[in-house]
Homo-oligomer: A and B are copies of this chain.
Amino acid sequence: MNAPIVNPALTKNQTLVFDVLEKSEGPMSAYTILDKLRDHGFRAPLQVYRALDKLTEFGMVHRLESLNAFVACAHREHECCGGAHGHGHGTVAFAICESCNQVLEFHDHKVDHNLGDWAKSKGFKPSKTTIEIRGLCEKCAA
């Protein structure tokens, strides 16, 4: 539950990568981002990965482990307990539609606490928790 960085000054590459992700409808792979940015001078995967690393560190981008892809953070500021930008509240979860690729980002205190209780009972010290639900969104399941 590391404290997120608030409003960091982004470099040019970080801004470009973030803008691409934010405008995207769904998650994007690093290589797809790279292709979108070739016109802006991007030539190599590392340019994308380095920006993604920082954006993830800032809490502005999340990596979807089950897709090897990335999304812009969908939290509104002050949306809830966490305050400000970022995830002060704890673990974030994702519901990923396998039909339309839409991603719903959410957090659930009860899940968070239940997993925390389990960890405590086992003496396990969590650093990062991944929760990803694959399935069909309401629209696609109909």
Contacts and interface: CB of A to CB of B under 8 A. Distances in A.
21 contacts: A65-B130, A95-B118, A95-B122, A104-B122, A106-B118, A108-B118, A110-B114, A111-B118, A114-B114, A115-B133, A119-B133, A123-B138, A124-B141, A125-B141, A126-B133, A126-B135, A127-B136, A128-B133, A129-B134, A130-B130, A130-B132
A98 interface: yes
Interface residues of A, number: 33
Interface string A47-75: 00000000000000000011000000000
Contact of A134 (B97, B128, B138): B128
A135 B115 CA distance: 13
A63 to B, nearest CB: 9
Q: Can you tell how many copies of this chain the complex includes? A: 2
A84 interface: no
Interface in A93-111: 93, 95, 97-98, 104, 106, 108, 110-111
Interface of A: 65-66, 93, 95, 97-98, 104, 106, 108, 110-111, 114-115, 118-119, 122-138, 141
A65 B118 CA distance: 21
A135 B127 contact: yes
A48 to B, nearest CB: 19
